[in-house]
Structure 1
């Protein structure tokens, strides 16, 4: 059975800075407590990540995922290949400018490969949502989300 989680936050930064932070894949483990390793396998012509390999650890379970990203001017989505821990995963960030700030909506749908007790699902959701929103906010506000020209 699919598990769904979502949260909205407001970050005091423009959408472009948030998308730049999300595109900085190798830095994700510095702001997301569940990510232990992240590596870009291939990129689109504009430099944004297309295929990404990540190692995540949640509730003591380690999973190695291959994610395929798609980018828009105010959104990013990814889908994960099947792994031993999950049948499917779909994640998305949707951004909406609000003056000098941006409303960020994070949605995740995950289909675990085995049924999990409700209390574990609840704890996992809390951890994932905090990493995906508050972790991102701290990273962006620290000014580390801006991609520097090469």
Structure 2
């Protein structure tokens, strides 16, 4: 990922527990505000989603896109854009690092390129909002 935004959070759960929540796409509408509909289009040999269609509704921005996922056990999941109406590219990842006491540091990295012109500063701010909301939602879902 060339220009990306990154943030981390500590979750009181093991990497396996955190990754199980990340891999449970059917539950995304319950804990991610923007994801309204989700469909797993294909799975990999490990049984985890390889391609997923998401319908997002963030008020002024409504888009449907398909993402391709790559899994590295309970250590990392990354994704890249297959197709979208509004996005030119979308690359992201969750990296999970075990901490003492059965906790996990989760780092979310995201790079988005939209088809409409947007200043870099505004784009990075939007990425930061997406990341912070996702991490907070993930923490609440895992620990709740």
Q: TM-score, normalised by structure 2?
A: 0.88
Structure 2 residue aligned with 1:75: 76
Q: Paired residues, what number?
A: 141
| Distance in 2 separating the partners of 1:53 and 1:10 | 28
Corresponding residue number in structure 2 for 1:16:
16
Q: Whole-Å Cα distance in 2 between the matches of residues 3 and 87 of structure 1?
A: 14
2:35 counterpart residue number: 35
Alpha-carbon shift at residue 117 of structure 1 (Å):
5.0
- Residue 98 (structure 1) aligned with residue 99 (structure 2): yes
Would you say the 8 A contact 2:42–2:52 is kept in 1?
Answer: yes
Q: Give the root-mean-square deviation of aligned CA atoms.
A: 1.9
1:129 aligns to what SS in structure 2? helix
1:60 aligns with 2:60: yes
Unmatched tracts of structure 1, length 5 or more:
143-150
Q: 1:110 aligns with which of 109, 112, 122?
A: 112
Contact 1:25 1:38 in 2 (8 A): yes
Structure 2 CA distance, aligned partners of 1:123 and 1:60?
16
Instruction: Give the drift of 1:120.
Output: 5.0
Q: Could you tell me whether the CA contact under 8 Å between 1:54 and 1:64 is conserved in 2? A: yes
Residue 133 (structure 2) aligned to one of 131, 134, 140: 131
Distance 2:24 2:118 in 1: 32
SS of residue paired to 1:81: strand
Q: Secondary structure at the match of 1:82?
A: strand
CA pair 119-90 structure 1, distance change in 2 beyond 3 A: closer
The superposition leaves residues 16-63 of structure 1 with CA deviations (integer Å, 9 ceiling, x where unpaired) of 011110110011111111211111111112211111000112351111
Runs of 5+ in structure 2 lacking a partner?
none
Using the alignment, how far apart are the partners of 2:60 and 2:5 within structure 1? 20
Look up the SS of the partner of 1:135 in the other structure. helix
Task: Call closer, same or farther: CA 1:69–1:32 in 2, change over 3 Å.
Answer: same
